[in-house]
């Protein structure tokens, strides 16, 4: 093209320049883009009743048939049943759920929880509920590496349902699950599996996905419907698009309700320039490593650190700097001397 423009005396100007290239925000390395088939959870499909804790009106009560709601609409309705501290948290997570696309749950990594799917001779995927349950049992016994250690044929012989009438598998999926599936499923992996957390009041089997019976939507006789959700989920303000949301969506799909009664959001630890103190900056000359409570206690003493912590407003970002802790130390000495005399 440039040659033709020169020949025609139509090239006005030529200049070489460097293109910017996207880099990973954590590892600071270049990103490689690949076009890959992915697995998704559809967000806007119509589902049944979302929550047994607050059922929608029946046709007898309203005189009209209820309007079917999408999974997104059910999630937004469930958000209103949760207490959000500070109260602006409800607007943040609603905005995140309202604007989110379908959930891409597959990753092409060399580590992680395997996505238990197979492929037939035509390349069509095989993902069946009973196969997933069988895979859960196998992984519970041998760990998640068993999926990568065994061949597709070995896994298929172990996981294929006895009454399977579909196509035979010739290959296994090498995709791993989005890590938000791991942390987001803690309502079932932790809350419903530990007797001391009252999961038994809802009658959920203690084992993983091995039960053929669906999760109950009503409590047993004499039980309470809200016996299993956590009283409080606590995390940073970036988790309305992360853990808070993945926990809500997975629990709503699998358990019929939000996994928490209250969600408390705290600010971030930031430096004097109000920049987030992150792990990726530690050890690179930006911060002394490690940024832990023990490091501050060793330098300032436990009482000064306690006074500094108690003077902070957790709802906002907390500034950590030598100057601020020095002022708290002076206040501490003033209080101690006043109490002494």
Residue-wise pLDDT tens digits, 64-98: 666 678 899 999 999 999 999 999 999 999 999 99
- Residues 86 and 19: their CA atoms lie apart, in Å, by 43
Helix (H) / strand (E) containing 118: strand 118-119
In total, the chain counts a number of residues equal to 341
Cα angle 28, 34, 39; round to 5:
105
Helix (H) / strand (E) containing 129: helix 129-142
Residue 339: pLDDT over 50: yes
Q: Phi/psi at 219 (nearest 5 deg)? A: -70, 155
pLDDT digits (tens, 9 = 90+) for 25-51: 878 899 988 888 999 999 998 875 444
- Residues 214 and 105: their CA atoms lie apart, in Å, by 22
Q: Report long-range pairs for 293-302 (Cβ below 8 Å, ≥24 apart).
A: 296/325, 300/325, 300/329
Residue 340: pLDDT over 90: no
Residues 175-197 have a mean pLDDT of 87
Predicted confidence at residue 60, as pLDDT, reads: 56
- Give one DSSP letter per residue of 58-87, joined into a string: PHHHHSSPPPP-BHHHHHHHHHTTSEEEST
CB 234 within 8 A of CB 186: no
pTM, whole model, 2 decimals?
0.72
- Residues 71 and 229: their CA atoms lie apart, in Å, by 20
Per-residue confidence at 209, pLDDT binned at 50, 70, 90? very low
Each residue of 98-131: b (16+ CB within 10 Å) or e?
A: eeeeebebbbeeeebbbbbbbbeeeeeebebeeb
Task: Output DSSP code: residue 47.
Answer: -
Q: Report long-range pairs for 330-338 (Cβ below 8 Å, ≥24 apart).
A: 331/307, 332/303, 332/304, 332/307, 335/307
pLDDT digits (tens, 9 = 90+) for 116-155: 999 999 999 999 999 999 999 999 999 999 999 999 999 9
pLDDT digits (tens, 9 = 90+) for 93-116: 999 999 999 999 999 888 889 999
Which tops the pLDDT comparison, 190 or 65?
A: 190
Helix (H) / strand (E) containing 181: helix 179-184
pLDDT digits (tens, 9 = 90+) for 145-178: 999 999 999 999 999 998 898 889 999 999 999 9
- Give one DSSP letter per residue of 241-289, joined into a string: TTHHHHHHHHHHHHHSS-SEEEEEEE--EE-TTS-B--GGGBTTTSB-S
């Amino acid at each position: 093209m440039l040659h033709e423009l020169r020949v025609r005396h139509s090239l006005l100007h030529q200049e070489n320049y460097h293109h910017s290239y996207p880099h990973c925000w954590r590892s600071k390395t270049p990103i490689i883009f690949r076009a890959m088939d992915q697995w998704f959870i559809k967000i806007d499909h119509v589902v049944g009743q979302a929550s047994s804790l607050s059922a929608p009106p029946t046709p007898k009560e309203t005189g009209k048939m209820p309007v079917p709601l999408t999974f997104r609409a059910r999630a937004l309705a469930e958000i209103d049943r949760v207490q959000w501290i500070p109260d602006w948290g409800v607007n943040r997570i609603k905005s995140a759920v309202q604007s989110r696309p379908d959930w891409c749950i597959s990753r092409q990594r060399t580590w992680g929880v395997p996505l238990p799917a197979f492929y037939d001779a035509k390349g069509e995927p095989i993902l069946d509920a009973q196969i997933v349950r069988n895979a859960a049992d196998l992984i519970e016994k041998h760990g998640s590496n068993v999926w990568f250690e065994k061949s597709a044929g070995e896994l298929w012989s172990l996981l294929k349902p006895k009454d399977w009438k579909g196509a035979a598998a010739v290959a296994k999926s090498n995709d791993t699950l989005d890590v938000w599936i791991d942390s987001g499923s803690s309502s079932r992996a932790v809350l419903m599996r530990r007797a001391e957390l009252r999961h038994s009041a809802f009658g959920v089997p203690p084992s993983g996905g091995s039960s053929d019976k669906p999760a109950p939507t009503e409590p047993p006789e004499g039980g309470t419907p809200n016996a299993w959700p956590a009283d409080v989920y606590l995390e940073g303000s970036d988790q309305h698009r992360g853990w808070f949301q993945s926990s809500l969506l997975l629990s709503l799909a699998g358990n019929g309700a939000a996994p928490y009664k209250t969600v408390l959001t705290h600010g971030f630890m930031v430096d004097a320039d109000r920049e987030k103190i992150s792990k990726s900056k530690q050890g690179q000359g930006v911060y002394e490593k490690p940024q832990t409570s023990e490091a501050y206690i060793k330098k300032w003493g436990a009482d000064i650190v306690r006074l500094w912590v108690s003077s902070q407003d957790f709802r906002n970002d907390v500034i950590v700097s030598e100057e601020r802790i020095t002022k708290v130390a002076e206040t501490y000495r003033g209080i101690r001397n006043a109490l002494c005399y």
